[in-house]
Structure 1
Amino acid sequence: MKFPVLQKIRRGRRAVLASCMCAALVGVAGWAYLSFLVAPRDAAIGQTQQQVAVDAAADAAVAILSYGPDTVDADLDHAHDLLTGPFADYYGTLTRDVVIPAAKEKKIDTSATVVGKAITDFSQDRANVLVFLNQSTTTADTAQPTTTSTAVRIEMERHADTWLVTKFDPA
């Protein structure tokens, strides 16, 4: 003897079970998609953005610390274009009042090269970078280059697709 009510209950349970299984399968598939396809791509984008910020900081450090006596105005104007905020104002005043006159008067020729660079903190619009540099300087009085090594902590801020220096602190 068959009980129609029990058959309906069993069919209902099977339908609920099948629905739960489908939902679980969709959930696992979604998790797998996010974990294996989307997350690695996001991580790669983050690493690429960090490298862009690090490279911009290194390039700015070289520009800030490199100039010649005959090109000092153009060299430091180029460097100023890589800065923003109060640091840009300070740098403009310092270079106009001190660096440019001294470079022209004493025939200062200085060149910086990056020997190491690393990111210390990063977000979408801000980065802190440590840049290690060697700087070679000659003057009218000393034709033999004087070489110094230094580390600089540089704070960067993203403006559209460009990273600009907001702080430049020798370590």
Structure 2
Amino acid sequence: MLLLVTGLFAFLALQQTQVERARGEARAAADQKVVELLSYDHRTIATDIGARMALLTGQFKEDYGALLRDVVIPAATQQQLTTRSSVVSSSVAGDDGIDQVQVVMFLNQTTQSSASPDPTLSGSRLHVTMEKKDGDWLVAELTPV
């Protein structure tokens, strides 16, 4: 009986360690990948599509690709937009096991354009779903809050 209880505690401890590791990895990946997704330069955005799409998974990958091609690239090119994003703070909001983690992020974005060469600062709050696919944490959903 003691062996069974000890085994159960060891299993639960291992599971908790895996969940905590997943949370840390997903948060770090979100901090890096969301900044890449939300930062762009009108001179290179059209050639960056492949690299951006590699950061995504699921339906969001298709939605982001369409938004990028249909809205963002034409507007960025026409208005000569450059946007830089940075993480102010992020935190894990929850998880669905070790392969899906919810992250809440606070970002600052600085935007410049041909019409407004002085940088404009804005803040954003996001809810991000990260999913682990083939050993890599990818953005599965990004929703403004």
| TM-score class normalised by the smaller sequence | 0.7 to 0.9
Change in CA separation of 1:29 and 1:85 when aligned onto 2, cut-off 3 Å: closer
In structure 1, what is the Cα distance between the partners aligned to 2:63 and 2:4?
Answer: 52
> What are the ranges of 5 or more consecutive residues in structure 2 without an aligned counterpart?
none
Match of 1:132, as an amino acid? F
TM-score normalised by the chain length of structure 2:
0.87
Higher relative contact order (CA 8 A, sep 6+): 2
Contact residue 119 and residue 129 of structure 1 kept, 8 A: yes
More helix by share: 1
- What is the CA-CA distance between 1:94 and the residue it aligns to? 1.1
| Aligned counterparts of 1:167 and 1:39: Cα–Cα separation in 2 | 29
1:1-171 alignment, distance < 5 Å: 27-28=1-2, 31-32=5-6, 35=9, 39-122=12-95, 123-171=97-145
Q: Which residue of 2 aligns with 1:21?
A: none
Normalized against structure 1, the TM-score is what?
A: 0.75
Distance (Å, rounded) in 2 between the aligned partners of 1:128 and 1:115: 17
Contact 1:113/1:133, CA 8 A, preserved across alignment? yes
Q: Please, which runs of 5 or more residues in structure 1 have no aligned partner?
A: 1-26
The number of equivalent residue pairs is: 144
Q: Output the aligned Cα RMSD.
A: 1.9
Higher strand share: 2
Q: Given that residues 152 and 168 in structure 1 are in contact (C-alpha distance below 8 angstroms), is that contact kept between their aligned partners in structure 2?
A: yes
Cα offset, 1:41, TM superposition: 4.4
Cα contact 1:64–1:76 (8 A) shared by 2: no
Note the alpha carbon deviations across 1:5-39, whole angstroms, 9 max, x for none: xxxxxxxxxxxxxxxxxxxxxx335534654x664
Residues 67 and 76 of structure 1 are in contact (CA less than 8 Å); yes or no, is this contact kept in structure 2?
no
Identity within the alignment, %: 31
Q: What per-residue deviation string (whole Å, max 9, x for no partner) do you get for residues 129-168 of structure 1?
A: 1111000000011111001111111112221211222211
Question: Quick one: structure 1 residues 88 and 33, their matched pair in 2 at CA, closer, same or farther if it must change by over 3 Å?
Answer: closer
- Residues of 2 paired with 1:65 and 1:164: CA distance? 15
